[in-house]
Amino acid sequence: MKQIQKTTTALAVIATAAMITPQSADAALMAHWKMDETTGNTAVDSSTNSRDTSSGTVDSWVTGTAGNAASLPRLQLDSTNSEALVRENGSLTLSAWVNTNSTTGANQYVGIVGYEGTAGPEEPYGFKINQNDQLQWGVSKTYVNFDNFHTTTSNGTWTHLVGTFDTTTGVSTLYVNGTAAGTANPGVNAIGSATRLFSFGRYDNSTSYNLDGSIDDVQLYDEVLDSTEVASLFANPGLDLASIPEPSSTALLVLGGLALILRRRN
């Protein structure tokens, strides 16, 4: 019996490791801001596109989910790089980690990551927290809401956010900590041009609605990631899909062997 329990445990560990690896890495990485800086007011894009932030400030660089994170960021890309990331009439996936200090009182209706459109960072797309303590993934002013964000995730805790938009089906999806939290239907080819800049920790170009918290590991892809790939990002903070190792053939063979042993012993 003890041997069976040991075998079962080993099988579960290897199976879990296999399941959290991505099935594919076909989506192109448009930008990856690791937020691993230690000084200064620039978040560096570690992708090959070099879309570093060009303006704004960071209060301090603190410990993040992987390496460092930007605390109280008020950062923006320049107009050229902002326009390059719009994804007009295209699909996308935006991934980010956020750790809020407060989401009540003056610290509500704040931008996390996205575009500062005329109605906030949801135009053409972005994450924000509204006055009802709802986390929102917005695409062209159509929202997926995650209710009671503060009470569900609690301040001082890192939370993984992923928003996707499929321009073919017109459906947007919000994931929180690797799990789908809801969908909306902005419509086919819903993303239009941007009127503001791609920003971190800012809302509608205002000094009154900035994020009270930290941001880490922001990634943008030019395709819709599936639920397995989203779970893989959640399980591997700091790494983009292409950097997460696939399960080796040896591991898969061991997994199959353990399954066979377990079956025979039962």
Average pLDDT over residues 146-151: 78
What are the tens digits of pLDDT across the range 77-95? 999 999 999 998 899 999 9
User: What's the CA gap between 44 and 120, in Å, rounded?
Assistant: 24
Q: Given pLDDT bands bounded at 50, 70 and 90, which one contains residue 252?
A: very low
Give the pLDDT confidence score for residue 247 in this predicted structure: 64
Residue 207 has φ and ψ, to the nearest 5°, of: -95, 0
User: What's the CA gap between 70 and 35, in Å, rounded?
Assistant: 6
User: What's the CA gap between 90 and 93, in Å, rounded?
Assistant: 10
Element housing 36 (H / E): none
Residue 149 pLDDT > 90: no
Mean pLDDT of the chain: 83
Q: How many CA atoms lie within 13 A of 75 on its CB side?
A: 28
C-alpha Rg value of the chain to the nearest Å:
20
Give the pLDDT confidence score for residue 147 in this predicted structure: 85
What are the tens digits of pLDDT across the range 151-173? 677 788 999 999 999 999 999 99
Give the pLDDT confidence score for residue 190 in this predicted structure: 85
Residue 106 has φ and ψ, to the nearest 5°, of: -70, -10
Which residues are within 8 A (CB) of 120 and not within 5 positions of it... i.e. 6 or more apart? 109, 111, 126, 128, 138, 203, 204
pTM, rounded to two decimals = 0.82
What are the tens digits of pLDDT across the range 112-128? 999 865 554 457 899 99
Which residues are within 8 A (CB) of 92 and not within 5 positions of it... i.e. 6 or more apart? 30, 125, 164, 165, 191, 220, 221, 222, 223, 224
Give the pLDDT confidence score for residue 23 in this predicted structure: 45
DSSP assignment of 188-212 equals TT-----SS-EEES-BTTBSSS--S
> What single-letter DSSP state applies at residue 241?
G
Tokens representing 46 are 């570690």
CB 65 within 8 A of CB 217: yes
Specify the range with the lowest mean pLDDT, choosing from 24-28, 43-47, 61-65, 217-221.
24-28
User: What's the CA gap between 112 and 214, in Å, rounded?
Assistant: 9
Average pLDDT over residues 186-214: 84
% the chain with pLDDT above 70: 75
Average pLDDT over residues 31-49: 98
Q: Given pLDDT bands bounded at 50, 70 and 90, which one contains residue 107?
A: low
- Nearest residue to 147 via CA among 106, 121, 111, 176: 176
What are the tens digits of pLDDT across the range 214-236? 999 999 999 999 999 999 999 99
Element housing 221 (H / E): strand 213-221
Residue 118 has φ and ψ, to the nearest 5°, of: -65, -20
